[in-house]
């Protein structure tokens, strides 16, 4: 047992590590194309399935030149619980609790080309650049990568690296690998890629996921084809017309410097209803948490949110350490609320997103477990490098790596662990995000729910019949009646207890102004808000030196029936749930314990992991 694993041995919930996760696909022992359809577990009330869509391997050119040697096959093996070589001078990587589904989404730009330079049989191995890219001297390889990246940022591509024959062959391999590892009912995979537009180091990336391999285009669309998202959506519409099933997920926008959620298109014109419809037809989901931080909100945007300062990674995208200057346009809560105002003004809602968490690992392994963190790149697969810096890396870049989070998880409520069911859940936005733990969240909204609606065994079936789940739209309020929300939250089986459940509301008043408010709808340990609405902290059991905590505080689950006490039927609104866990050690604290040193004083010792539901909208079209 590793020192890090020993440090976790005091988790009071470890004795029932697999209890909550035993249900669903992971309990099935069969898979592959021959798996009988009637043997796949299905549940009309839906189960929670956890996975990641934003996964890079050595087939991404930036990953390869940072020492990553893993392949898509390695990624799918890791997600199912197999150990894989992590590289970078570190040991093997292995997830503690396997995932239900996974999608490798390497960068479309020069997809797999750098990795194929290792193969003497490949034409790209003969290119002059190949010797530098594959050099054992990482400085030489990184300089080669930087030159290519500089060309791309200037809008230029190297034709030798974009040979259609090579691109078609590699993409075909990527799709075939996803198909080969798909085990219906047990483990689901999807063909995917990332479109990586990066104008002026402003991150506009999107992950594009295919529901299946039927009629997948011969090559993915890259930012070398166009750096404008409108062109990506046009390509997606064309692929859909040709029979493909696909959806895009907008990248965590904290590094977009305000560009992700602007109110003008790439042409500088104000958004209109047609733009909004096109955007939402193609990208229904947003990545609220990943290795490069979280982007629910920022303290500058939500000064009254005491939990807004969570894993904020405050940099632009690139090799420099430039800081963004625009908060608005970079965080999703503000965008969700502004979308209501745009729709009220007749421009449609271009920001009507469901929420997921994800990884953005560049080493095949999602690294979503704080006590099992192996970094984003292979060079971080050593605790001393993650915590104290990789030799030769500039101090400003070392600081960026230390401020990475452990990544998030995407969760869906689906009838089965199959491509069809999981993709359908993604498309209808019945999704929730976590910052890493496998906690579960349910949210329904309606007008006819009684105060005891959640006390019956069939409450979920009744909620689907009488209301709408997360990602849905509430009909107009009958006679101004306030909607009622059913909220369920459950801790991760082997994880931390829960601190509280909050309802986050955003709305537009009659004068067109936007507003937000946070309601504490459930608190653990019998706590109550004071006259000013202030809630005492749940406490903190973290032992920093040992990197341990206990579940002596907090709750294991919550069930809440809540109605908005300030509801105004004339005001468009959106509601989403945020669930906070009790404080637990951050990955950097676990690393410090393993190394036998004190936690760094420039990083949080503990964090409160969390989950976010997709919103339910009121007064919105559709």
Query: pTM for the whole thing?
Result: 0.93
Q: Please check whether residues 341 and 473 belong to one and the same domain.
A: no
- Is a pLDDT exceeding 70 seen at residue 34? no
Q: For the chain, what is the domain count? A: 2
Largest CA distance in the chain: 73
Q: Please check whether residues 129 and 262 belong to one and the same domain.
A: yes
The pair phi, psi for residue 601, each rounded to 5°, is -85, -5
| Boundary (domain end) residue, out of 389, 418, 434 | 434
- Residues 48 and 492: their CA atoms lie apart, in Å, by 12
More confidently predicted of 157 and 63 = 63
Q: 157 pLDDT band (50/70/90 cuts)?
A: confident
- Is a pLDDT exceeding 80 seen at residue 268? yes
What confidence tens digit (pLDDT) does each residue in 188-198 have? 999 999 999 98
Q: Please check whether residues 458 and 418 belong to one and the same domain.
A: no
Q: What is the DSSP letter of 386?
A: H
Q: Is 184 within a domain?
A: yes
Residue-level pLDDT at 29: 27
Closest alpha carbon to 371 in 548, 556, 550, 543: 548
Phi-psi region of 465 (alpha: psi -120 to 50; beta: other; left: phi over 0): alpha
Q: Please check whether residues 341 and 463 belong to one and the same domain.
A: no
| Boundary (domain end) residue, out of 390, 406, 434 | 434
Dihedral through CA 330, CA 99, CA 369, CA 595, nearest 10?
A: -130
Domain housing 529? 440-618
- Residues 73 and 159: their CA atoms lie apart, in Å, by 28
Q: Is 237 within a domain?
A: yes
Q: 621 pLDDT band (50/70/90 cuts)?
A: low
Q: Is 31 within a domain?
A: no
Q: Is 522 within a domain?
A: yes
Q: Please check whether residues 553 and 422 belong to one and the same domain.
A: no
What confidence tens digit (pLDDT) does each residue in 566-602 have? 999 999 999 999 999 999 999 999 999 999 999 999 9
CATH number at residue 158: 3.20.20.140
Q: Is 40 within a domain?
A: no
Q: Please check whether residues 138 and 189 belong to one and the same domain.
A: yes
Q: Please check whether residues 487 and 556 belong to one and the same domain.
A: yes
Residue-level pLDDT at 620: 62
Q: Please check whether residues 379 and 231 belong to one and the same domain.
A: yes
Q: Please check whether residues 430 and 465 belong to one and the same domain.
A: no
Residue-level pLDDT at 260: 97
Q: Is 133 helix (H, G, I), strand (E, B) or coil?
A: helix
Q: Is 206 helix (H, G, I), strand (E, B) or coil?
A: strand
**pLDDT-wise least confident of 38-47, 72-81, 328-337, 464-473:** 38-47
| Boundary (domain end) residue, out of 434, 451, 477 | 434
Give, in order, the Cα–Cα distances in Å from 274 to each of 240, 251, 285, 508, 572: 18, 22, 18, 22, 20
- Is a pLDDT exceeding 70 seen at residue 98? yes
Q: Please check whether residues 325 and 466 belong to one and the same domain.
A: no
- Is a pLDDT exceeding 60 seen at residue 161? yes
Closest alpha carbon to 333 in 371, 358, 305, 359: 305
Q: Is 21 within a domain?
A: no
Q: Please check whether residues 149 and 246 belong to one and the same domain.
A: yes
Q: Is 211 within a domain?
A: yes
Q: Please check whether residues 428 and 466 belong to one and the same domain.
A: no
Q: Is 9 within a domain?
A: no
User: Rounded to the nearest 5 degrees, what angle is found at the Cα of 528, between the Cα atoms of 524 and 529?
Assistant: 125
């Amino acid at each position: 047992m590793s020192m890090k694993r020993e440090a976790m041995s005091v988790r009071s919930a470890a004795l029932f590590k697999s209890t909550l996760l035993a249900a669903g696909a992971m309990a099935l022992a069969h898979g592959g194309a021959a798996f009988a359809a009637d043997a796949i577990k299905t549940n009309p009330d839906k189960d929670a399935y956890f996975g990641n869509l934003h996964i890079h391997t050595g087939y991404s050119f930036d990953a390869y030149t940072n020492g990553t040697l893993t392949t898509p096959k390695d990624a799918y093996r890791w997600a199912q619980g197999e150990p894989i070589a992590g590289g970078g001078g570190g040991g093997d990587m292995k997830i503690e609790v396997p995932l239900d589904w996974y999608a490798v989404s390497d960068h479309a730009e020069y997809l797999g080309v750098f990795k194929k330079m290792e193969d003497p049989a490949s034409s790209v191995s003969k290119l002059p650049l190949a010797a530098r890219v594959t050099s054992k001297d990482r400085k030489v390889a990184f300089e080669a990568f930087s030159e290519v990246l500089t060309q791309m940022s200037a809008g230029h591509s190297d034709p030798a690296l974009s040979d259609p024959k090579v691109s078609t062959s590699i993409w075909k391999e990527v799709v075939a690998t996803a198909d080969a590892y798909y085990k219906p009912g047990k483990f689901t995979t999807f063909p995917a890629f990332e479109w990586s537009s990066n104008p002026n180091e402003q991150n506009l990336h999107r992950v594009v996921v295919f529901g299946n391999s039927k009629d997948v285009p011969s090559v993915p669309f890259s930012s070398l084809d166009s750096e404008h998202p409108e062109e990506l959506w046009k390509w997606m519409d064309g692929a859909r017309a040709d029979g493909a099933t696909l959806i895009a997920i907008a990248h965590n926008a904290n590094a977009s410097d305000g560009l992700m959620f602007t109110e003008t298109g790439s042409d500088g014109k104000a958004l209109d209803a047609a733009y909004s419809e096109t955007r939402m037809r193609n990208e229904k989901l947003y990545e609220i948490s990943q290795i490069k931080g979280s982007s629910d909100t920022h303290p500058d945007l939500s000064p009254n949110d005491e939990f807004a300062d969570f894993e904020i990674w405050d940099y632009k995208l690139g090799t420099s350490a430039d800081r963004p200057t625009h908060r608005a346009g970079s965080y999703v809560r503000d965008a969700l609320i502004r979308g209501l105002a745009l729709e009220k003004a007749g421009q449609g809602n271009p920001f009507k997103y469901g929420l997921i968490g994800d990884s953005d690992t560049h080493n095949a392994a999602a690294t979503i477990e704080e006590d099992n963190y192996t970094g984003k790149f292979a060079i971080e697969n050593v605790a001393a490098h993650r915590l104290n810096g990789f030799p030769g890396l500039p101090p400003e870049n070392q600081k960026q790596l230390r401020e990475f989070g452990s990544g998030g998880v995407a969760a869906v409520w689906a009838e089965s662990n199959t491509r069809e069911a999981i993709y359908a859940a993604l498309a209808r936005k019945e999704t929730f995000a976590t910052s890493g733990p496998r906690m579960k969240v349910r949210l329904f909204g309606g007008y006819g729910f009684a105060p005891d609606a959640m006390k019956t065994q069939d409450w979920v079936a009744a909620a689907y019949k009488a209301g709408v789940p997360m990602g849905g739209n509430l009909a107009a309020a009958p006679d101004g009646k306030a909607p009622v929300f059913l909220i369920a939250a459950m801790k991760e089986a082997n994880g931390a207890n829960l601190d509280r459940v909050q309802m986050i509301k955003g709305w537009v008043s009659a004068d067109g102004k936007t507003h937000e408010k946070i309601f504490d709808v459930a608190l653990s340990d019998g706590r109550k808000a004071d006259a000013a609405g202030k809630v005492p902290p749940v406490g903190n059991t973290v032992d920093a030196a040992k990197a341990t905590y206990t579940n002596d505080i907090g709750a294991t689950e919550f069930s809440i029936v809540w109605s908005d006490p300030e509801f105004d039927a004339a005001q468009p609104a959106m509601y989403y749930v945020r669930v906070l866990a009790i404080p637990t050690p951050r990955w950097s604290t676990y690393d410090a314990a393993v190394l036998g040193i004190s936690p760094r004083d420039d990083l949080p010792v503990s964090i409160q992991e969390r989950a976010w539901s997709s919103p339910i909208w009121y007064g919105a079209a559709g």
